[in-house]
Structures are given as C-alpha cells and as structure tokens.
C-alpha cells in the first residue's frame, strides 16, 4: 500500500492514518468519492482532538463521524485493527492501483490502466518498464522521479528559508510587487506539503510578464527552480530545491490583479473546510464567492460587478462573519 504521511505530534496519528487509507482506497479503487470525503472529514475531526482517544465515548458528538465510521473506530479501539482495512490491504490489484496514484498526475483511471492493461504491480516495476516514458506524460514522469521526495513534508524552517529566497527575487523585479506564501504555512503549520505563492501588483493589470520574469530568475539566477511542469499567463507549476543537500519540493506560483488578490489570498490560505463554509454562508446571504471575487446575486440570478475588496476582512464583513486570523483557520 501507499506510504502514508504521518500526522506529526498527534496522539491519534495511527487512527487518522487508518481512516485516510480507507478513504484513499474508496477514491482510487472503488471510485466512491462520497465515501472518500466521509473518511477524510472524520480524520480531520479526530485530528483536532487534543488527547489520545481511548474509548468510543471520546468521539461522541464529533462532526463527520456517522454510525458506519464509528463502528470501524470502535473496532480499532478494541482490537488495534479495522477489518475493512485488512481486507483492502489483501487486495493485490487495489494495492497496486493505490501505489500508482501516489505519483503526481496519476489519477484512478490512469492507475487502473497501468495495473489492469499493462500489468504493472509496483512503483519499481513502473520505473523499470521499457515503455515508461510513453505510458506517462511529462508531469507524471516528474512525479515518478521525485515520488519519495514529494511525499516528505517540508519543515517550517525550510519553508522560511525558501520564502526568503522567493520574496527577495520577486521584489528585485519591481519593489511594488507583493507576494505571500499561502496554504498551511500561512496558517502556521509546523510542516507543509508544498509551496504555494501568490503575487500581485497595485497597478499592473497584465501580470503574465511578471510571472515569466519571476520563474526565469528563480531558475537561472539562483537555481532554485529545477523543473517546470507548466507555465501560462497566470500560473506556474514546477519543482524547486533549496540546495543540493535538500529534497525536491513542489511549487506553484500564481499571479492576480490587485482587485482579485484578497479573495485569492483567502481561498488559497484555506483551509478547505473554511472555504466551503464561507461559500455556503455567501450563498445563503445572496452572494457568490470564489478565489477571484465576491459578487451580489440579483433576484433573477444575475451577478453584480465584483464588490470592492481591499483586505480579507472585507470579505468576512460582507458575509457578517467574525474575522479569523490565518492561524485560526484550521477549522
């Protein structure tokens, strides 16, 4: 089965990993996304419990834990195992499909093809396969190349070092450029999965030239970006490395005009649950909220022009929600 990322410093990390593994099987093998989401939500709820769960009473009332998942947790608490998980692990085809989906860019359908049609049963077999480069596109080839490195979390200290390099090179292009590292790092996480950078400028409306300059500098001048996955007018996806002794990391850089920036900042800071919650509140109050704007929805469904937003706080105010600092957004 896939190597799982352990939840650091959590007293219930094994249970969380088990639930996530069950979810991955449902997504990748059974293709039951609703079950995957249910396991993911349950794991997220348990991650917030600050003490070791010893009895089923400890999870009573937790959001996202229905009767079926509760029964599996009870099995785990009683025996240290979950029968369905043991059965999944015994499914060789399912295990092979899950292995393939560890690779960046390989979804369940492609994984199924690799296993069922090409008879590839492991990552090692794929790496040794004579048709590997025709079976995988460029993104997937990079995903296979750096698989084990991408699976390692990035410690906060390393994130800070990378932030210093990125911001220094961006402001060297134009001192009015503003950039922030978002995602779990901005929420204060001790470790992150990748680097997600947002960039804006107070007056420029066409930012694609800035994006290309940023990528060129980080590639050629400081040898920080090692591989390009894709680059367009508003988004770069690639691979970076702090120095030769460090692991390769995934990096995305997005540019937004100033009028969209704070909606983007809110969205890409997350977390996912807060984003969903705010979209629901927006809909209930007659707004449409996404990573680009907040708009009023008219009685006939026609959207207004984007409302003026000069800070994340403005968005909370429109929705009449209490403002949350980034480190309070791990809902």
- Asked whether 245 and 262 are in contact (CB, 8 A), the reply is no
Q: Which of 195, 108, 103, 107 is CA-nearest to residue 141?
A: 103
* Residue 311 neighbours by CB distance under 10 Å: 13
Q: Which of 147, 107, 139 is CA-nearest to residue 123?
A: 147
Q: Indicate the pairing of strand 195-200 with strand 248-255.
A: parallel
* Residue 205 neighbours by CB distance under 10 Å: 8
- Exposed, middle or buried by CB within 10 Å (0-12, 13-18, 19+), for 35? middle
Quickly list DSSP for 78-131: HHS--HHHHHHHT-HHHHHHHHHTTSTT--HHHHHHHHHTT---SHHHHHH-TT
Stated as kind and residue range, the H or E segment containing 44 is helix 33-47
Question: If you ran DSSP here, which 8-state letter would residue 219 be given?
Answer: I
The Cα 215–Cα 206 span in angstroms is: 16
Tokens of 72: 């599996």
User: Which of 72, 145, 190, 221 does the annotation list as catalytic?
Assistant: 72
Mark whether 72 is an active-site residue: yes
The Cα 202–Cα 86 span in angstroms is: 55
The Cα 278–Cα 316 span in angstroms is: 8
Q: Provide CB contacts within 8 A for 308, sequence distance 6+.
A: 259, 314
User: Which residues are tagged catalytic?
Assistant: 72
């Amino acid at each position: 089965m896939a190597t799982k990322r352990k939840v650091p410093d959590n007293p219930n990390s094994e249970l969380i990993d088990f639930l996530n593994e069950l979810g991955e099987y449902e997504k990748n093998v059974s293709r039951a996304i609703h079950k995957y989401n249910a396991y993911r939500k349950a794991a997220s709820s348990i991650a917030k419990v600050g003490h070791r769960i010893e009895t089923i009473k400890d999870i009573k009332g937790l959001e996202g834990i229905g009767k079926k998942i509760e029964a599996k947790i009870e099995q785990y608490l009683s025996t240290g195992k979950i029968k369905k998980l043991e059965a999944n692990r015994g499914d060789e085809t399912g295990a092979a499909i899950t292995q393939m989906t560890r690779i960046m860019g390989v979804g369940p359908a492609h994984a199924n093809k690799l296993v069922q049609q090409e008879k590839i049963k492991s990552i090692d077999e794929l790496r040794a396969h004579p048709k590997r480069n025709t079976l995988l596109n460029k993104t997937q080839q990079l995903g296979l190349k750096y698989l084990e490195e991408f699976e390692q979390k990035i410690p906060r200290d390393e994130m800070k070092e990378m932030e210093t390099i990125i911001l220094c090179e961006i402001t060297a292009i134009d001192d009015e450029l503003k950039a922030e590292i978002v995602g779990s790092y901005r929420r204060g996480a001790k470790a992150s999965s990748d680097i997600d950078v947002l960039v804006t400028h107070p007056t420029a409306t066409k930012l694609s030239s800035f994006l290309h300059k940023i990528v060129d500098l980080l590639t050629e001048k400081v040898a920080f970006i090692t591989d390009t996955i894709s680059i367009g007018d508003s988004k770069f996806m690639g691979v970076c490395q702090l120095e030769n002794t460090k692991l390769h990391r995934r990096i995305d850089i997005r540019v937004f005009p100033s009028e969209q920036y704070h909606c983007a900042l809110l969205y890409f800071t997350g977390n996912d649950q807060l984003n969903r919650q705010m979209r629901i509140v927006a809909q209930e109050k007659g707004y449409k909220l996404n990573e680009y704007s907040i708009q009023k929805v008219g009685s006939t469904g026609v959207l207004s022009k984007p409302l003026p937003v000069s800070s994340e706080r403005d968005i909370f105010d429109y929705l009449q929600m209490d403002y949350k600092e980034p480190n309070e957004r791990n809902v």
